[in-house]
Amino acid sequence: MRLRNVKGSREAIASSEFTINDPEQYKGKWNTVFGNDNPIYIEVGMGKGRFITDLAIANPDINYIGIEKYSSVLIRAIEKRKEIDIQNLVFIRMDAENICDVFAEEEIAKIYLNFSDPWPKDRHAKRRLTSKEFFARYNNILKNDGVVEFKTDNRPLFDFSLEQIPEAGWEIIAHTFDLHHSDMNEGNVMTEYEEKFSSMGNPIHKLIAKR
């Protein structure tokens, strides 16, 4: 994602009622943030947040947490969030590398990864959100019957993921190289990147993984 520094975004995020500062303090008790025991779904690398916001509006009985590394992007999600009256969506500005400091074992019911940064150089493979290093982190926080759902238009990243995920000890229970023309598309909610790349004619790839 091309990043422009948005002046004051870090301060605006820190003071937003929709951002959880010091998220480590809620490890094992995220239900207290939402005031209920509904399942918690997270999106890692949510960008401007359209996908997770649309899901939260459509599914009031599920709690959503959007995770994004950069303030200049997250601020856009917060601006949209202010305009809607829902109780089931909050954001964290953090690097997902530290996700195990923030969520306890089995605290999360589903993880979404959408159009994750490809990190094309081999020496950066560990930074890819579908690397086995990241799946080891997801293993620590996801419920036993939980799933990871991943979408991308980047074929090399998708092929890498199809190899890495089984190597990490997970099973790919469904996948497609052309989501929008497959039966996996039923109920699909588009992300900002998905809309942009599919309108350029790129096929969208999707996989679902469980342990």
Q: What is the nearest approach in angstroms of ligand SAM to the Cβ of residue 105?
A: 20
Q: Minimum distance from CB of 200 to ligand SAM (Å)? A: 14
Taking the least distance from each CB to ligand SAM, the nearer of 67 and 78 is: 67
164 binds ligand SAM (CB under 6 A): no
Q: Identify the active-site residue in 37, 117, 145, 153.
A: 117
> Taking CB under 6 A as the rule, does residue 190 contact ligand SAM?
no
Binding to ligand SAM (CB under 6 A): which residues in 82-101? 95-97
Binding mask 116-155 for ligand SAM (x = CB under 6 A): xx--------------------------------------
Question: Can residue 192 be called a binding residue for ligand SAM (CB under 6 A)?
Answer: yes
The site for ligand SAM, by CB under 6 A, has a size of 21
Q: Binding segment for ligand SAM among 24-32, 38-46, 55-63, 181-189 (CB under 6 A)?
A: 38-46
For the question of residue 117 being annotated catalytic, the response is: yes
The three-state DSSP-derived secondary structure of the chain is: CCCCCCCCHHHHHHCCCCECCCHHHHCCCHHHHHCCCCCEEEEECCCCCHHHHHHHHHCCCCEEEEEECCHHHHHHHHHHHCCCCCCCEEEEECCHHHHHHCCCCCCEEEEEEECCCCCCCHHHHHHCCCCHHHHHHHHHHEEEEEEEEEEECCHHHHHHHHHHHHHCCCEEEEEECCHHHCHHHCCCCCCHHHHHHHHCCCCCEEEEEEC
| Phi, then psi, of 73 in degrees rounded to 5 | -95, -45
Q: Catalytic residues, which ones? A: 117
Contact footprint for ligand SAM (CB under 6 A): 1, 44-47, 67-70, 73, 95-97, 114-117, 191-194
